[in-house]
Every structure is written in C-alpha cells, then in structure tokens.
Structure 1
Amino acid sequence: MSVPKAVIFDIGNVLIEWQPERYYDRIIGEARRREMFAAVDLHGMNDRVDRGEGFREVIYEVAEATPAFADEIRMWHDNWLDLATPAIDRSVRMMRALRTRGVPVHALTNFGVGTFDLALTRYDFLSEFDQAFVSGHMKVIKPEARIYEMLEDATGLSGGDLLFTDDRADNIAAAQARGWRTHLFEGPDGWARRLVAEGLLSEAEAA
C-alpha cells in the first residue's frame, strides 16, 4: 500500500490537552463542577464558538442567562488558556518530524476564531502547519461532512492519500466514510506506532 501524501492532526486532546472539567474541578471543586455541567450545556456553548460565533459574546451571553453559575461560566473565556493546557509534547515532536521529512501536515480542528488566535500566543507549533483548517473560520464543525470536503478541495487530496488522527470516534467515522486512513488517538504511543507502520517516520523519529 502506498504511503499517505499528507497527515491531518486534530488539535484538542491530540496536540493540546482539552479537559475543561479538570480545570473546574481544581478551581471550584468536583461537586460544584458536576452541578454546573448538569445545569448548562457548556460543550454546546463551545460548539457555537467553534462554528464561528464571537468567543466573548457567546460565553458572556450564557453566563448572563445562568446567574447561579455566571462567574464560573465567564472563566471559560477569561481563563481559557488554563483550560487548554498542557501541550502533548510527543505529538508535537512527531508533527515536527513529519514536516522535517517533507510530509505535508495539516490541522483539522473544531476551534473558534478567537480561541485559536489565543492559543497561538502560547503554542508556537500551531503556526507550523502547511494549512490549518479551523472550524470557526470555515463555519462548519466536525463530524459534519462538509468540513472534510472543504479540506479535500483545498489540498487536492482525498481517500487513502490522507491519514487523519482525532480523539473522537464520531469524527474518525466521518473521515472513514470518505475513504480516509484514520487513527483514533488514545495517546501518543499508538499514534507513533501508526506513523511508523505507514512508513512516515522511523522509530527513532517517533520516539
């Protein structure tokens, strides 16, 4: 089988840990966090940002509509970099090793316009993709078929020419439906083995 012509990285929980619950457990305690997440669809709120709505506007609107948790909800905006941390260093090293080899490396990520700009201030590797396909700019999110189609149109690649990793099974299934090669990211060890098996990196480069 031929070697993939490009590698596609999700960002959240592949290159940067994204665990808002962990942040809130530390700041307000697990019991209060559980109560808040049961009362408010915070991930749905974040999807609105990822679709291109204003970062501050959406978060503050939801906070105002939920006075019992308003201060905590505003933290999603005001302390966002503390929610999106730390970088997954081995994944970053492999991304850079692929680029050193001359393999095109793209991002396909559910990320808001404002949040992606903010993440760039901390994580310099986010500026190193050949192309970054950011849902906030595209106005469509994974796993909707259109976002995958837009990447294919922009890169001129499709099907088995693309190898895509993501931590969410629904996003992986949508890519598989288009014939992409896929890897469900459950940690950098498995991703390293896959990149070696595909002939994209040596074991030393993937270490």
Structure 2
Amino acid sequence: MTIRAVIFDIGNVLIEWQPERFYDRAIGQDRRKAMFAQVDLHGMNDRVDLGQGFRDIIYDTAETYPEWRAEIRMWHDHWLELARPAIDQSVRLQRALRAKGTPVHALTNFGIESFELAKGHFDFLAEFDRAFVSGHMGVIKPDEAIYEMVEADLGLSGEALLFADDRDANIEMARARGWNAHLFEHPQGWADRLVAEGLLTVEEAR
C-alpha cells in the first residue's frame, strides 16, 4: 500500500532531548549521576507527558527530595535548555515533505504546557498537519492505545503510515500495529529512508 502520511516523533528526532547533558553543565557530572540515581526524573516526566500539571508534578517531586529541590525544579524552570537544539536536517525533511503535499504529523510523548512552551520557541512544531500529543491523549508511547487513536483519527491503517522514532520500544509497537517504522539514529538515515520510499528525491532530502 502507498504511504499516505509521515509521522515524526519530536524528542531526539526534531529536537535534541538530553536532560543529563543539561545537568552535567549545570551541576557537574558527579552530582547529576547522584541525583538521577536517587530520583526517577524520567518517571516524573512521564507523568507530565500523561497530561498531569507541568509545574505541579516537578515542584511536588522537588519537595519529596529536599536535598535536590533546586536541581529538580530546574527541569521546569530551565526546560527550554533541556530541550534543545533543533535537529536542523530533520526540520528540513519535515518541510520538504509538506512542500510536496505529503501529510506530516507528529506523535510525541509531551506534556500539555511543555508542548505549548516548545511551540513558542520552535516554529516548526506548529507546522504539522496534525500533532498527536500524549498529554492531550492521556496515554504515552509505547502503549498500543496511542497508535490505535492515531489510526482512528486519520482514518488510515498502519501500512499507509511511515513513522520515525528514536526508541526501540516505540518502533516495535508501531510495527506490531502494521506501521512502516524507522528507528531514528541520525537525520541522514531518516533522509535515506524517505528517499528509498520515494517520498523525496536525494536533492530534496539534503
């Protein structure tokens, strides 16, 4: 079946998402490792991605670990420093697909408030035909339900979709639903896949 829509994950596909790197700069690697060993910060972020309050969840977690209060609050207060920079070639691919008339959507684990914050900083996040944001959907990848919701909303079966994501578990579930899926490791690999699928020419994918 012909691919009728392309779906991008956002974190580490369109925007680098490396919180550890931010904390290494902010507090030093040794303190960062100690904090991440004691506090499940990624689990905290999953709660935000499920639609719970961005500031509330992070500040409540900070109060649970008073010895790390200031550092945990940075996850909220310096969030745009955690989620950067943009992956420029991926952004060019997004725009090249849309310029050719291919529907381009996002499927992302992202909080409600944090996604709005990101859209105010990265203009390309407002350029999707549809943005499927976990915070609004109440479910996160790789839960099968989120893929089912995308299919139902678009009125497309998995074989009509091509999806890029940086996490194995998310890709495995997409494939289990019958999606065409690409494990994103670097933008050139994604560009090559889009060319191989006949969605872009080599020149358009530069």
TM bucket (normalised to shorter chain) is: over 0.9
1:104-154 Cα distance to aligned partner (Å, 9 max, x none): 000000000010000011100000000000000000000000100000011
CA distance in 2, matches of 1:41, 1:156: 37
1:160 is displaced (CA, Å) by 1.2
**AA paired with 2:64?**
A
**AA paired with 2:3?**
P
Look up the SS of the partner of 2:181 in the other structure: strand
Match of 2:198 in 1: 199
CA distance in 1, matches of 2:89, 2:57: 33
CA distance in 2, matches of 1:199, 1:102: 13
Match of 1:103 in 2: 102
Match of 1:86 in 2: 85
CA distance in 2, matches of 1:206, 1:148: 27
**AA paired with 2:174?**
A
Look up the SS of the partner of 2:3 in the other structure: coil
1:59 is displaced (CA, Å) by 0.1
Match of 2:11 in 1: 12
Match of 1:68 in 2: 67
CA distance in 1, matches of 2:11, 2:108: 8
CA distance in 2, matches of 1:115, 1:157: 28
**AA paired with 1:64?**
E
CA distance in 2, matches of 1:177, 1:27: 40
Look up the SS of the partner of 1:99 in the other structure: helix
Match of 1:26 in 2: 25
| Superposition TM-score, scaled by structure 2 size | 0.99
**AA paired with 2:87?**
I
1:158 is displaced (CA, Å) by 1.3
CA distance in 1, matches of 2:144, 2:195: 28
| Superposition TM-score, scaled by structure 1 size | 0.99
Look up the SS of the partner of 1:86 in the other structure: strand
- RMSD of equivalent CA atoms: 0.5
Look up the SS of the partner of 2:135 in the other structure: helix
Look up the SS of the partner of 1:7 in the other structure: strand
Contact 1:3/1:199, CA 8 A, preserved across alignment: no
Match of 2:139 in 1: 140
Look up the SS of the partner of 2:62 in the other structure: helix
CA distance in 1, matches of 2:102, 2:149: 20
CA distance in 1, matches of 2:178, 2:151: 11
**AA paired with 2:127?**
E
CA distance in 2, matches of 1:30, 1:4: 44
1:159 is displaced (CA, Å) by 1.9
1:92 is displaced (CA, Å) by 0.2
CA distance in 2, matches of 1:191, 1:159: 19
- Structure 1 position 157 matched with structure 2 position 146: no
Q: 5+ unaligned residues in a row in structure 2: which ranges? A: none
1:3 is displaced (CA, Å) by 3.4
Contact 1:3/1:200, CA 8 A, preserved across alignment: no
CA distance in 1, matches of 2:61, 2:178: 38
1:87 is displaced (CA, Å) by 0.2
